[in-house]
């Protein structure tokens, strides 16, 4: 008879995190529990709650001889996921299943990739708990989500190593679900970042947005511009390893370098790239660090454009698996400050732009071309049109906007 090991403390979202983008976490996780037939097993307690549950009778048992059985057609795709699950079951339940390929038997956990009828999207999965626990995902990511459900069901079950029988069919309501961690303003060690990735996967989030630069620190190793790098920073090897780690959990890392604002540290190291006009350099706003000078890089200068493109290229080379690079572009001083900057107004006139704000949009589109050259999609904060500032040009159609 197995005894349940001491439970780990309940996982909760860290209070230091920037709020989850657009409230997606709450919208996706706090739905009503899945309905079940009278007399049938109720749905297991999971976060997020299951979209669909058909309760059975009795329970599936995790046993000392339980195996993780991968479908022969999915061994290459699911081997890493099976190894991950085996280690987590060992840590949580004190049982480390052997991993094999074939057909699951009683007490086994079967993993497969295939169609999930009645569910939508590649992250869907179906978990059938009978004599064996059979998990089929529409993709590897769907299988990963299903393993989170199994682990949570085991953890919240009133009986050790037991889950109520039934069938869960589940899929996310939103395609992008994630959290953002600001490591630009405050450095966090790599182990903490990995813990946040595990926690994201636990709640079936699929995006980890890393805000890697801000007014007081550029946190990415740079071979071309070592002078801008903060003392506390991440090496290229650490960040590549972090992305590999996130991939194992089905989480995409979105790296952000915040340009051209929030650039005090960069401007201090390379003042020739920053605006000299006071309204852009020291805008006197409530933004932390904006009173220190060098707040905004001078995006009218060819040298600044080339510098920014080099940074984007370095980040793209580090985060080779992520489909996105976020270039920030928020909290650039507003229209009145831009009109008060002689060099910015001179650039507007030289380019024939009707509005001074067109220069910022031109900068966004210039960096977007570099991002696309590396096979990725640009993300930006929705700032270029904040307070409906007039501009003639518009950001590129492939630029993804975050409010």
Q: How far is CA 217 from CA 58, 255, 322, 367, in A?
A: 56, 15, 23, 21
65 backbone dihedrals φ, ψ, rounded to 5°: -100, 10
Residue 37 has pLDDT above 90, yes or no: no
**Looking at 10-14, 38-42, 185-189, 333-337, which range is the least confident one?**
10-14
Tally Cβ neighbours within 10 Å of residue 254.
23
Per-residue pLDDT, averaged over 333-357, amounts to 96
Q: How many helices (H) and strands (E) does the chain have?
A: 11, 16
**CA distance linking residue 21 with residue 1, whole number of Å:** 45
CB 319 within 8 A of CB 243: yes
CB 127 within 8 A of CB 167: yes
For 399, counting Cβ atoms within 10 Å of its Cβ (0-12 exposed, 13-18 middle, 19+ buried), the class is buried
- pLDDT of res. 383: 83
Per-residue pLDDT, averaged over 192-206, amounts to 98
The two three-digit tokens of residue 339, written as one number: 């009109």
- pLDDT of res. 388: 46
**CA distance linking residue 150 with residue 127, whole number of Å:** 8
The two three-digit tokens of residue 66, written as one number: 């339980």
- pLDDT of res. 399: 72
**CA distance linking residue 127 with residue 244, whole number of Å:** 27
Residue 363 has pLDDT above 60, yes or no: yes
- pLDDT of res. 7: 40
- Could you report the per-residue pLDDT of 128-166, keeping only the tens digit for each? 999 999 999 999 999 999 999 999 999 999 999 999 999
How far out from the chain centre does Cα 301 lie? Answer: 33
**CA distance linking residue 101 with residue 109, whole number of Å:** 11
Question: In 62-174, which ranges are E strands?
Answer: 67-70, 98-101, 109-113, 125-129, 133-137, 162-170
Q: Categorize the per-residue pLDDT at 8 as very low, low, confident or very high, splitting at 50, 70 and 90.
A: very low
The two three-digit tokens of residue 131, written as one number: 């004599």
Per-residue pLDDT, averaged over 257-271, amounts to 98
- pLDDT of res. 150: 98
- pLDDT of res. 28: 40
Q: Give the 3-state DSSP-derived string for 357-393, with helices as H, strands as E and coil as C.
A: CHHHHHHHHHHHHHHHHCCCEEEEECCCCHHHCCCCC
- pLDDT of res. 21: 36
**CA distance linking residue 187 with residue 234, whole number of Å:** 9
Per-residue pLDDT, averaged over 34-49, amounts to 83
Q: Is 167 helix (H, G, I), strand (E, B) or coil?
A: strand
- Could you report the per-residue pLDDT of 232-247, keeping only the tens digit for each? 999 999 999 999 999 9
Q: Categorize the per-residue pLDDT at 4 as very low, low, confident or very high, splitting at 50, 70 and 90.
A: very low
Percent of all residues in the chain with a pLDDT value above 70, rounded to a whole number: 87
What is the value of pTM for the model shown?
0.88
- pLDDT of res. 26: 34
- pLDDT of res. 16: 30
Percent of all residues in the chain with a pLDDT value above 90, rounded to a whole number: 85
Per-residue pLDDT, averaged over 396-403, amounts to 63
Please list, residue by residue across 78-113, b when 16 or more beta carbons sit within 10 angstroms of its beta carbon and e when fewer do: beebbebbbebbeebbbbebebebeebeebbbbbbb
Residue 5 has pLDDT above 60, yes or no: no
- pLDDT of res. 403: 61
- Could you report the per-residue pLDDT of 373-398, keeping only the tens digit for each? 999 999 999 887 776 455 555 655 56
**CA distance linking residue 98 with residue 212, whole number of Å:** 40
How many residues make up the chain in this entry? 403
Q: How far is CA 38 from CA 29, 42, 209, 390, in A?
A: 24, 9, 43, 60
DSSP 177-242: -EEEEETTTS---HHHHHHHHHHHHHTT--EEEEE-EETTEEEE--SS-GGGEEEEEE-HHHHHHH
- Could you report the per-residue pLDDT of 314-330, keeping only the tens digit for each? 999 999 999 999 999 99
- Could you report the per-residue pLDDT of 55-112, keeping only the tens digit for each? 999 999 999 999 999 999 999 999 999 999 999 999 999 999 999 999 999 999 999 9
Terminal-to-terminal C-alpha distance of the chain? 53
- pLDDT of res. 384: 72
């Amino acid at each position: 008879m197995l005894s349940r090991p001491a439970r780990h403390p309940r996982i909760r979202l860290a209070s230091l995190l920037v709020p989850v983008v657009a409230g997606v976490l709450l919208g996706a996780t706090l739905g009503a529990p899945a309905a079940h037939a009278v007399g049938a097993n109720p749905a297991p307690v999971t976060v997020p709650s299951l979209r669909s549950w058909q309760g059975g009778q009795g329970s599936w048992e995790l046993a000392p001889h339980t195996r993780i059985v991968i479908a022969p057609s999915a061994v290459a795709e699911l081997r890493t996921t099976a190894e991950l699950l085996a280690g987590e079951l060992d840590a949580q339940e004190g049982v480390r299943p052997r991993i094999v390929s074939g057909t699951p038997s009683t007490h086994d956990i079967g993993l497969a990739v295939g169609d999930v009828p009645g569910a939508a999207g590649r992250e869907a999965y179906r978990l059938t708990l009978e004599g064996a626990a059979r998990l089929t995902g529409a993709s590897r990511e769907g299988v990963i989500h299903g393993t989170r459900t199994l682990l949570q069901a085991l953890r919240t079950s009133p009986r050790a190593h037991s889950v109520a029988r039934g069938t869960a069919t589940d899929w996310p309501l939103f395609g992008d679900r994630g959290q953002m961690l600001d490591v630009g303003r405050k450095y966090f060690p790599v182990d903490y970042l990995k813990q946040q990735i595990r926690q994201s996967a636990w709640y079936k989030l699929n995006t980890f947005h890393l805000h890697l630069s801000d007014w007081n620190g550029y946190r990415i190793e740079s071979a071309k511009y070592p002078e801008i790098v903060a003392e506390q920073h991440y090496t290229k090897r650490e960040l590549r390893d972090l992305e590999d780690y996130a991939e194992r959990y089905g989480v995409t890392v979105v790296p952000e370098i915040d340009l051209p604002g929030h650039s005090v540290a960069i401007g201090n190291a390379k003042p020739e790239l920053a605006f000299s006009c006071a309204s852009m350099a020291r805008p006197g706003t409530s933004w932390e660090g904006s009173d220190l000078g060098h707040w905004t890089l001078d995006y009218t200068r060819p040298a600044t454009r080339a510098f920014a493109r080099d940074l984007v290229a370095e980040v793209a080379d580090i985060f080779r698996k992520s489909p996105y690079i976020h270039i920030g572009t928020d909290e650039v001083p507003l229209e009145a400050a831009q009109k008060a900057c002689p060099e910015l107004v001179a650039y507007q006139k030289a380019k024939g732009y009707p509005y001074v704000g067109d220069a910022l949009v031109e900068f966004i589109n210039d960096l977007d071309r570099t991002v696309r050259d590396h096979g990725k999609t640009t993300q930006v904060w929705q700032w270029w049109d904040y307070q409906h500032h007039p501009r003639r040009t518009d950001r590129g159609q492939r630029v993804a906007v975050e409010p």
